[in-house]
């Protein structure tokens, strides 16, 4: 890890943080109330270390298996890291996810609620949970239907999952603001404070509409050559 790699990572991170702060100010919010999750999926440890050295402490991964390969070693050699699972989770990987992650953003069905509750009880560890909502009603995407959210949320609370908020991925190539606003309204209606929404192309819009967690990959790691 060279000094230039650290400087480049720091510059990209500062640019994202500055954009977040500007968006928060426009909305009358404190930027310190929005967590920047650096989505490190498909990036090897060598690409992650400079960002950690630049001060980033919260990271996101899409797959349990990939995270299991990278993060135990990185965590052993680097400062304390908060790790979020932001991709789909298979029920048979619930135990592994509970052991590794500090937050799980993709709770979206009763079978996963049951698997996570069992895994948390066994491990004595309770990562924060976000229920993923299929906000654009897209059949190819994960997330529960808006109409199914009350029932799923009731099941999750009954199973004593620590549900802190909602997560969504709006449809691509359309204005995301209405979808973010809808998720924020639904969260308010259900007494949930956290909103995981916004990625590299739309995190500023998400911040203005109440995001508490933004999931940013390309803007932090750069485009691949």
Give the model confidence (pLDDT) of 67-105 as tens digits.
999 999 999 988 899 999 999 999 999 999 999 999 999
Q: Binning pLDDT at 50, 70 and 90, where does residue 225 land?
A: very low
- CATH class (in words) of the domain with range 3-221: alpha beta
Give the model confidence (pLDDT) of 171-195 as tens digits.
998 999 999 999 999 999 999 999 9
Map out the domains of the chain as residue ranges.
Answer: 3-221
221 pLDDT above the threshold of 50: yes
Asked if 166 and 209 touch (Cβ cutoff 8 Å), the reply is: no
User: Residue 55 is encoded by which pair of tokens?
Assistant: 């001060």
């Amino acid at each position: 890890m060279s000094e230039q790699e650290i400087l480049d990572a720091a510059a990209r991170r500062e640019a994202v943080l500055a954009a977040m702060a500007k968006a928060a100010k426009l909305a009358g919010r404190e930027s310190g109330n929005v967590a920047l999750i650096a989505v490190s999926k498909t990036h090897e440890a060598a690409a992650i270390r400079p960002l950690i050295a630049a001060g980033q402490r919260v990271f996101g991964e899409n797959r349990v298996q990939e995270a299991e390969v990278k993060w135990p070693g990185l965590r052993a050699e680097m400062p304390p890291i908060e790790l979020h699972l932001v991709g789909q989770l298979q029920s048979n990987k619930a135990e592994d996810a509970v052991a590794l992650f500090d937050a799980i953003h993709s709770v979206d069905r009763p079978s996963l609620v049951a698997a996570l509750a069992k895994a948390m009880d066994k491990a004595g560890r309770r990562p924060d949970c976000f229920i993923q909502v299929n906000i654009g009603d897209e059949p190819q995407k994960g997330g529960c239907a808006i109409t199914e959210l009350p029932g799923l949320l009731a099941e999750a609370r009954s199973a004593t999952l620590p549900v802190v908020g909602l997560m969504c991925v709006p449809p691509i190539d359309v204005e995301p603001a209405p979808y973010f606003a809808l998720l924020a309204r639904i969260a308010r209606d259900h007494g949930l404070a956290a909103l995981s929404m916004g990625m590299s192309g739309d995190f500023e819009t998400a911040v203005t509409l109440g995001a508490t967690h933004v999931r940013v990959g390309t803007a932090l790691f750069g485009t691949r050559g």
